[in-house]
Structure 1
Amino acid sequence: MIISKTPLRASFFGGGTDFSTYYENSKLGYGTVVSTALDMYVYIIVNRKFDDNIRIVYSGNELVSRVDEVKHNIIREALKIVGIEKGIEIIYMADIPLSNAGIGLASSSALAVGVLNALHAYKGEFVSQGVLAREACEIEINRLGQRIGIQDQFAVAHGGFSQYKFFNDGSVSITPVVCKKEAMVQLRNNLMLFYTGTTRDSRKILNEQSDTILDKTVMLDELVNTTDRAVQALYDGNLDFWGAELDRTWEIKKKFANGVSNPQIDSMYAKAKSAGALGGKILGAGGGGFMMLYVPQQRQNLVQEALSEFTYIPFSYCHEGSRIVFSD
């Protein structure tokens, strides 16, 4: 039996610049995001089955005789990449509700990375975090045709609080954000996470965003510059810069595609700002899922009261990426 544990992630700045259409053509030479892994996880259990069938358990339950019959598309393609054709059980669970709708924490990429990690370990193979990220991109983007960026796969595979740069030639650099411990702790203390209570199919939003990336180059260039400035501000201890820039870049993000925001989200965000939040954003493509807010600690009780109809989710940073936590 093998069990893998893969963190979810929250992305702060630079979303959209991790699309190949942008970074392969960027005059700046790269796209970039800064994100952190969270102490919320996707778990994959892999075990040898007593017969030659394949059993997959998630919110559904599949029992099939051939890989091509597996309906769960990510798990099916992971089996193909690793080269396992029969006699296996895979169980998928998470610290968040399992559904087909997006929630903005990179759960699909965490599933892809986590199941690949577990399947490789099942075969007695060690693969690096970089390989896991690349194989997850191969599944989600190339094989399944999802029109998404590549930040999520790298963030959940590597974990930690890092800046990722995606260069014209397709290479990726991962630089852990190293600053004074007090600044990192204070940033965490100034962040609040709320569940909007709604999920969304992000494909329409992401498809429109992908179609119009070249038309939004100026905005995306500004997001690259903002991401670099945000990392420098953290080094300098200028934490409130994060609040102000989250607010400004949220306004930019809403222009990327229809459905990024909606009246409920706008109302929720306005209530939070009126109560003392300096800025924030919907994580992921938008339209629902989780909202991250930057709120000075002395105003957090007021913000929590203002958003009492929404679920407040305490969280911490996660310093590790996808890993095998049990092998027998």
Structure 2
Amino acid sequence: MKISVSTPSRICLFGEHQDYLNLEVIASAINLRFRAEGTKRDDRIIHVRLKGEGISREEVINLDEEIVYENNRDYIKSAINVLRRNGYEIESGFDIYMDSDIPIGKGMCSSTTMVVVFIKVLLELINHEDKDNPEKIALLGFEAEVTEFNEPGGLMDQYSSAYGGLLHLTFDKDKTVVEPLNTEIPGCFILFDSLEDKQTTKVLASAKYPVLEALDELKQYGIGSIRDFVDDEKNLAYLEKLSPAKLVKVKANIDNYKTLKEAEEMFGTGVDSVKLGELLKRHHGNLRDGLEISTPKIEEILETAYENGALGGKINGSGGGGCCYVYAYEKDAQKILDEVCAKGYWGVILKQDSGVRVDS
């Protein structure tokens, strides 16, 4: 019997560059998906065929031999090792075919979705009860992708993909708190590829570390988090202790946290499309001017979209290239897509989508 499963990519609505500050994120699953089909074999070989945008490879894994990693992103093998180490009994072999329409290396969590969908199809094939547990799948995915290779990374992508829909995530030091938001967002999102590779190392050096250093400098004044500036505005006086370079980045994170809280309140009462667009623009403005993670090509995409009716938009992912998206009324979506693509960029109209699932 063939088992078919899939899992979604995501866009980060609010909270970009806030997860590593132990703050919050609001993300939405979208209808770009990683798919997997699996059937049982009569031996103990797991044969994986993987195809997608920019990827094509095969993995042949013998369950009777030690599974050794060939590189630090050997995620198919790490997923099997993590499952077995956690007590999941994989006794027989399987033929698994995987494909995806998610852009690779563009901040669209293609690696995470590959790991999540692979774990999902294995749990379905061995008929384990955790196959229907999105939190367990997310945590197993995080262990296989991040913990196993001692890499930096948060849990936003794993939770967004496994749960689907619209999620509010709070990244406390000891636990990630997941709150599904039962809010249907009207209109649509339009994703665009800037055709620039992300400059992750450069972005982390310019956006992440100066803020962490600034918070460390302010510990002596009782400041432990960006939240402290929002919960008690008297703490804003301590900002004058920072250098100008760090000050602008901390201020950007303070306003982005305020923006997220305003959006959270709106999602609780119903979405005002114009306000959602304004909040997205405000968030991106802080990412562009404060954290300096945008690029001229991303700005060209956004400006062209605004000229043709988009309500708001922002960079998606860590920045320095990769993808961005805009939010618009459905009636304006095709015109926006056509005008931006006419400048040489790739784009696609998106809708909110469900999480990891079995497909008919």
Give the TM-score range, shorter chain: 0.7 to 0.9
Matched, 1:323 2:315: no
Give yes or no for contact 2:198–2:322 (8 Å, CA) kept in 1.
yes
Letter in structure 1 aligned against 2:68:
D
**Inter-partner Cα distance in structure 2 for 1:205 and 1:267:** 20
Q: Can you give the 5+ residue segments of structure 2 that lack an aligned partner in the other structure?
A: 51-55, 85-89, 215-248
Which one of the candidate residues 43, 57, 67 is aligned to 1:60? 57
**Inter-partner Cα distance in structure 2 for 1:111 and 1:201:** 22
The verdict on how the C-alpha distance between 1:248 and 1:257 changes in structure 2, with shifts beyond 3 A counting, is: closer
Q: What is residue 12 of structure 1 aligned with on the other side?
A: 13
**Inter-partner Cα distance in structure 2 for 1:38 and 1:305:** 20
Matched, 1:41 2:33: yes
Residue 218 of structure 1 and its aligned partner are, at CA, apart by 4.8
**Inter-partner Cα distance in structure 2 for 1:57 and 1:226:** 43
Give yes or no for contact 1:56–1:90 (8 Å, CA) kept in 2.
yes
Q: What is residue 151 of structure 1 aligned with on the other side?
A: 156
Q: What is residue 90 of structure 1 aligned with on the other side?
A: 96
Which one of the candidate residues 123, 126, 129 is aligned to 1:123? 126
Which one of the candidate residues 299, 303, 310 is aligned to 1:277? 310
Give yes or no for contact 2:337–2:348 (8 Å, CA) kept in 1.
no
Letter in structure 1 aligned against 2:58:
N
The verdict on how the C-alpha distance between 1:208 and 1:126 changes in structure 2, with shifts beyond 3 A counting, is: farther
**Inter-partner Cα distance in structure 1 for 2:117 and 2:200:** 21
For the residue of structure 2 that corresponds to 1:136, the secondary structure is helix
Residue 321 of structure 1 and its aligned partner are, at CA, apart by 1.2
Q: What is residue 190 of structure 2 aligned with on the other side?
A: 192
The verdict on how the C-alpha distance between 1:211 and 1:170 changes in structure 2, with shifts beyond 3 A counting, is: same
**Inter-partner Cα distance in structure 2 for 1:208 and 1:88:** 45
The verdict on how the C-alpha distance between 1:299 and 1:131 changes in structure 2, with shifts beyond 3 A counting, is: closer
Give yes or no for contact 1:2–1:47 (8 Å, CA) kept in 2.
yes
Which one of the candidate residues 239, 242, 248 is aligned to 2:282? 248
Which one of the candidate residues 90, 109, 124 is aligned to 1:106? 109
Matched, 1:233 2:266: yes
Residue 50 of structure 1 and its aligned partner are, at CA, apart by 4.1
Give yes or no for contact 2:46–2:94 (8 Å, CA) kept in 1.
yes
Equivalent residues in 2 for 1:272-311 (5 A)?
272-295=305-328, 300=333, 303-307=336-340, 308=342, 309-311=344-346
The verdict on how the C-alpha distance between 1:154 and 1:53 changes in structure 2, with shifts beyond 3 A counting, is: same
Matched, 1:211 2:212: no
Question: Percent of counterpart pairs with the same letter?
Answer: 23
Q: What is residue 349 of structure 2 aligned with on the other side?
A: 314
Give yes or no for contact 1:104–1:282 (8 Å, CA) kept in 2.
no
**Inter-partner Cα distance in structure 1 for 2:118 and 2:332:** 41
Give yes or no for contact 1:226–1:245 (8 Å, CA) kept in 2.
yes
Residue 255 of structure 1 and its aligned partner are, at CA, apart by 5.7
For the residue of structure 2 that corresponds to 1:147, the secondary structure is coil
Give yes or no for contact 2:8–2:113 (8 Å, CA) kept in 1.
yes
The verdict on how the C-alpha distance between 1:317 and 1:298 changes in structure 2, with shifts beyond 3 A counting, is: closer
Please give the TM-score of this superposition, normalised by the length of structure 1. 0.80
Give yes or no for contact 1:64–1:70 (8 Å, CA) kept in 2.
no
Q: Can you give the 5+ residue segments of structure 1 that lack an aligned partner in the other structure?
A: 24-30
Letter in structure 2 aligned against 1:137:
F
Q: Deviations over 1:176-222 (max 9, x none)?
A: 243xx6xx32xx24x33223344436465357655344145554343
For the residue of structure 1 that corresponds to 2:175, the secondary structure is coil
For the residue of structure 2 that corresponds to 1:313, the secondary structure is strand
Give yes or no for contact 2:199–2:319 (8 Å, CA) kept in 1.
no
Q: How many equivalent pairs are there?
A: 305
The verdict on how the C-alpha distance between 1:200 and 1:85 changes in structure 2, with shifts beyond 3 A counting, is: farther
Give yes or no for contact 1:82–1:119 (8 Å, CA) kept in 2.
no
For the residue of structure 2 that corresponds to 1:317, the secondary structure is coil
**Inter-partner Cα distance in structure 2 for 1:63 and 1:237:** 48
Equivalent residues in 2 for 1:63-82 (5 A)?
63-65=60-62, 66=65, 67-68=67-68, 73-82=74-83
Q: What is residue 167 of structure 1 aligned with on the other side?
A: 172
